[in-house]
Structure 1
Amino acid sequence: MELRQLEYFVAVAEERNFTRAAERVRISQSGVSAQIRQLERELGAELFDRSARTTTLTVAGKAALEHARVALAAAGAVGQAVGEVTGLIRGRLTVGMVIGCTVTPLFEALAAFHRAHPGVEISLLEDASDRLVERVRDGAVDVALIGTASAAPDGLEAWTVLSERLVAAVPAGHPLAELRQVTLRDLAAHPLVCMPPGTGLRTALDRACAVQGLRPAIALQAGAAAAIADLAARGLGVAVLSESMAASLGDRLTTRTIEDAEVPALLALVWRVRHSPAARELLAHSRRAFAAERGGA
């Protein structure tokens, strides 16, 4: 008994016709018939009633059908398991990361993945979040860490690793430094220094302003939090950052949470619904790495 005989048997049973079954498995009708006859001889029973125009299962055929399906499914699972292991031995993993974002747990996850699967070549690509999303969609990137202001992008899976409020950062002596609370309208009265369009932080800012009908003046844009802070420290505008970005500034700037900016800045890992074995392994390492960081906080 061979797997191909079981495949032909299931095809004929489901199509109820030898001609259609032959087209489905892409061999000649005579080839299907010969293999079914051989299977019947091995089993010692006829599997199909061929006396009518429509091919139907005999009692023996009905008894064999579900077992044949299970056997084919098991064989497919064996092939998939071997394929996944092979992919993790000699595969390639392309990871995207939003520009200007240094996230230690992601690097820890990449290191752990490399130790576990040294044969997989890892590529790290920096880009704007919106472009990374498109690269994940078209398969050029397996997993990407993006900044966003919404749930999972259309057609992708997502896992939020960080959700933070927006803050304003200004040098000593700036009018906003004298306020105990800062609103978007307060912010809009000054030139801003922030991330460029396509980043999660900028999207969160733009959406929060749009809700109130505000159009603040964007004086300067930079892709790194340190650059934004340096520009603000020199009096070129109010820096708009996330809470964790602002926490790294120390005493250089005075920070104020933007009280009515209710749209949070999110940092999330995104991937395709049907992702590769390598991507699945990296996601598992990432969950452990981020969980370890939170546990140590």
Structure 2
Amino acid sequence: MEIRQLEYFVAVAEERSFTRAAAKLHVAQPGVSTQIRQLERELKQKLLDRTGRTVLLTEVGAAVLPYARAALAAVAGVRQAVDEHTGLLRGRVSVGMVTSSASAYDLPRLLADFHREHPAIEITLSESTSDHLLSALREGRFDAVAISPSTTVPPGVETLTVADEPLVAAVSPDHPLAGRDRLRLADLRDEPLIIFHQSVGARATVEDACAEAGFPPRIAFEASDPNLLAELAAKGLGVAILPAPFAAIRPTTLRGIPLTDPPMRGSIAFAWRENGSANPAANALIRHLQRAMRGGDE
């Protein structure tokens, strides 16, 4: 049994595709298939069900997967121990983020700073919903994720809030509501709303508040990018509900009006496994995020 075979098996199990696994590993697909067949012959058991369009784990494969991951983590730890003695930290970290969250806390800058500190560490970044990100985090497919805290955080996961802003009603300067100092959510009952897509945590916040106020939101436009929501509102296409800073940076084209009864907030938090990771590179990233978000007091 070779480490390479276990690496290929884990990649196919996670990607549910030989093609995607080969692309992720930067190797040819036939080589992936050959190595996994050799592993199955050695174990005398099928690990993958190849009969459908999506590759699935067999019952044996599902039982083997956590041990394969643990073996790869152990090998990474051995390599890391050597690198630490030579002063070089290397490896791979996988970061996930909920759609639209990056602009709330300047994720590109955080990752660029980390890359300058640890140029030998490979960083990958993917987008998804908060629920999916948390599930993948617990399974070890992500090392750190940025989520909406409105999602229920499962046991064993630690979080750090990195953005928390009031949601405002944003309208064009010539909109009938532009002269108001504040608005109740019920005031927007009949207004065409421009709100986040369902993949963004703030969408659930708005929908829940509307339900409590006794009306379904009249959704005219939805998008994951808050800048797009702001631009649509600035063109007079409706009332955008978005974090206050995205209205404040457009003082000539957009008026942000505080929302009361109820006030709403949009938040983003980083999350990671509470007991740390077997991957030293991932632990370095988590420490970097903690220092950056807490002002360097870690």
Q: Confirm or deny a common fold (TM above 0.5).
A: yes
Q: CA deviation at 1:187?
A: 1.7
- Rg larger in 1 or in 2? 1
Q: 1:150 to 1:274 in 2, by over 3 A?
A: same
1:239 aligns with 2:240: yes
Between Structure 1 and Structure 2, the one with more helix by share is: 1
Give the corresponding residue for 1:186. 187
* Alpha-carbon separation, structure 2, partners of 1:241 and 1:282: 30
What residue is the counterpart of 1:279 in the other structure?
282
Q: Where do 1:172-251 residues align within 5 Å?
A: 172-251=173-252
Aligned CA distance change for structure 1 residues 211 and 104 (closer, same or farther; 3 Å): closer
- Tell me how far apart the structure 2 counterparts of residues 87 and 219 of structure 1 sit (CA, whole Å): 55
Q: Deviations over 1:239-297 (max 9, x none)?
A: 1101222233332111101112334211100122243233322122122223449xxxx
Partner of residue 114, structure 1: 115
Alpha-carbon distance, 1:227 to partner = 1.0
SS of 2:256's equivalent in the other structure is strand
2:164 pairs with 1:166: no
**8 Å CA contact 2:244, 2:256 repeated in 1:** no
User: In structure 2, what residue type is equivalent to 1:205?
Assistant: V
The one-letter amino acid paired with 1:91 is G
Could you tell me how far 1:177 is from its partner in structure 2? 1.0
Query: What are the Cα deviations for residues 46-70 of structure 1, in whole angstroms up to 9, with x where unaligned?
Result: xxxxxxxxxxxxxxxxxxxxxxxxx
> Secondary structure in 2 aligned to 1:148?
coil
Name the amino acid aligned to 2:96. G
Query: Against the structure 1 CA distance between its residues 224 and 154, is the aligned structure 2 distance closer, same or farther, given a 3 Å change threshold?
Result: farther
The alignment-based identity, stated in percent, is: 38
**How far 1:155 moved relative to its partner?**
4.7
TM-score (norm 1): 0.64
**Maintained 8 Å contact 1:156/1:272:** yes
SS of structure 1 residue aligned to 2:123: strand
The answer to whether the 8 Å contact 1:109/1:282 transfers is: no
Q: TM-score, normalised by structure 2?
A: 0.64
- Are 2:181 and 2:257, in contact at CA under 8 Å, matched by a contact in 1? yes
With over 3 angstroms needed to count, the CA separation of the structure-2 counterparts of 1:86 and 1:218, relative to structure 1, is: farther
**2:110 matches 1:138:** no
- CA RMSD after TM alignment: 2.7
The Cα shift of 1:82 comes to 5.7
Residue 54 of structure 2 is matched in structure 1 by: none
SS in 1 for 2:183: coil
Aligned residues of 1:106 and 1:289 also touching (Cα < 8 A): no
Pairs aligned (count): 215
Question: For 1:173 and 1:249, how far apart are their aligned partners in 2?
Answer: 14
State the AA in 2 paired with 1:282: L
State the AA in 2 paired with 1:283: I
Q: Which runs of 5+ in 1 are unaligned?
A: 1-78
- SS of 1:165's equivalent in the other structure is strand
